[in-house]
């Protein structure tokens, strides 16, 4: 095979037009699935991707793609370190992109990774994603896919998560143990599956402890600051505000604390707050923030292992790794509150 393989070479070999080859490699909707699979399979076999993207990949399809909502999130920074450690041990590289919580960007990134011929893809789903057909395209191409942290049940593939139901249950139970009786939940976007799972854990804890569940004490927000603050104020400026709140993330918890101070509520005397992710800033806040510690580094390692295992054995049983988490208690839920 020539070391300068081109689209024309592929077209001649498969007896189709150059434009069809080009569109197939870009996952164009006008090209049939059978033709796409045939073109991609031959392009990989012939080394087309290595020749075109060699300056990125270094060697034969030797890269794993990673898509996270935001690299700046502490959880994902740790996860990327774990992914990189495993990838390097297997002689692989990683290409990291962020969706910025956008469905359209996430869909575009998946398409680009397909074009690059990556060996697998690790994804934590964007807050704006409610359709999942772009992930099915990966599976149809035979590209291993692993979801970590944020996922969806609509796509049957390997996953790495914590027990979000249990974590939220235990956090709510802790709020009850320090004397809270009107407990609210401020979640992420309703389309984010783990946010809804945490809400179920919160509700279950209330029911188990025979405390009332009020629909008005449940709210959802986007991940931008304006949305977080708007929903925090709606909860805290109510005539009879909650005295305890479980937040989907530390960023949302910090917005709640800001809104509470703005309204003149004391933390934890008037209201206790628990977040998720245990961000480094939590210890520096006044008061410091109680939060669920998530094993980001271990999550990244396990996700990378799964994608490499799937690459080696495409037909192995689908795996769902559930990692442990635990509550870090700080001043925002002072245990002496009564």
Q: Write the pLDDT tens digit of every residue in 246-255.
A: 999 999 999 9
Q: How far is it, in rounded angstroms, from Cα 56 to Cα 53?
A: 5
319 φ, ψ (degrees, to nearest 5):
-115, 140
Q: Give the helix/strand (H/E) hosting 209.
A: none
In this structure, are residues 161 and 149 in contact, taking their beta carbons and an 8 Å threshold? yes
- For domain 1-56, give its CATH number from 1.10.260, 3.30.310, 2.60.40, 3.30.450: 1.10.260
275 φ, ψ (degrees, to nearest 5):
-115, -175
Q: How far is it, in rounded angstroms, from Cα 62 to Cα 223?
A: 34
Q: How far is it, in rounded angstroms, from Cα 190 to Cα 82?
A: 29
Domain boundaries defined on the chain = 1-56, 57-161+297-324, 164-294+327-333
pLDDT, one tens digit per residue, over 285-334 is: 999 999 999 999 999 999 999 999 999 999 899 999 999 999 999 999 98
101 φ, ψ (degrees, to nearest 5):
65, 15
Does residue 57 have a pLDDT over 80?
no
The predicted pLDDT at position 23 comes to 73
pLDDT over 90 percentage in the chain: 71
Name the pLDDT band for 139 (thresholds 50, 70, 90): confident
Mean pLDDT of 64-82: 92
Name the pLDDT band for 227 (thresholds 50, 70, 90): very high
Tokens of 39: 């073109």
Does residue 245 have a pLDDT over 70?
yes
- For domain 57-161+297-324, give its CATH number from 3.90.230.10, 1.10.730.10, 3.40.50.2300, 3.40.50.300: 3.40.50.2300
Q: Do domains 1-56 and 57-161+297-324 have the same CATH topology?
A: no
pTM, two decimals, is: 0.80
Q: Which architecture, in CATH terms, is 164-294+327-333?
A: 3-Layer(aba) Sandwich (3.40)
110 closest CA partner among 126, 86, 127: 126
pLDDT, one tens digit per residue, over 171-194 is: 999 999 999 999 999 999 988 999
């Amino acid at each position: 095979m020539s070391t300068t393989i081109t689209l024309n070479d592929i077209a001649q070999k498969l007896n189709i037009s150059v434009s069809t080859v080009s569109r197939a490699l870009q996952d164009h909707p006008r090209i049939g699935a059978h033709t796409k699979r045939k073109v991609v399979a031959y392009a990989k076999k012939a080394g087309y991707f290595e020749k075109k993207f060699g300056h990125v990949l270094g060697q034969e399809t030797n890269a794993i793609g990673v898509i996270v909502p935001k690299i700046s999130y502490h959880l994902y920074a740790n996860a990327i370190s774990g992914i990189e450690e495993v990838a390097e041990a297997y002689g692989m590289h990683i290409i990291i992109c962020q969706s910025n919580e956008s469905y359209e960007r996430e869909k575009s990134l998946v398409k680009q990774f397909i074009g690059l011929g990556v060996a697998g893809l690790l994804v934590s789903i964007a807050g704006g994603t409610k359709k999942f057909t772009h992930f099915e395209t990966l599976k149809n191409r035979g590209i291993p896919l692993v979801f970590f942290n944020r996922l969806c049940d609509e796509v049957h593939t390997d996953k790495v998560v914590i027990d979000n139901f249990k974590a939220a249950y235990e956090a709510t139970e802790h709020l009850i143990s320090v004397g809270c009786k009107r407990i609210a939940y401020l979640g992420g976007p309703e389309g984010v599956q783990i946010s809804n799972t945490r809400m179920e854990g919160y509700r279950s804890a209330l029911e188990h402890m025979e405390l009332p569940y009020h629909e008005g004490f449940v709210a959802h927000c986007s991940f931008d600051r304006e949305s977080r603050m708007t929903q925090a104020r709606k909860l805290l400026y109510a005539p009879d505000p909650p005295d305890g709140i479980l937040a989907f993330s530390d960023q949302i918890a910090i917005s709640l604390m800001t809104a509470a101070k703005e309204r003149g509520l004391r933390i934890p005397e008037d209201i206790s707050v628990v977040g998720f992710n245990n961000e480094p800033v939590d210890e520096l806040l006044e008061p410091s923030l109680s939060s669920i510690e998530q094993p980001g580094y271990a999550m990244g390692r396990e996700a990378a292992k799964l994608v490499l295992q799937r690459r080696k054995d495409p037909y192995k049983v689908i795996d769902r790794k559930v990692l442990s988490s635990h509550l870090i208690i700080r001043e925002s839920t002072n245990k002496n509150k009564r």
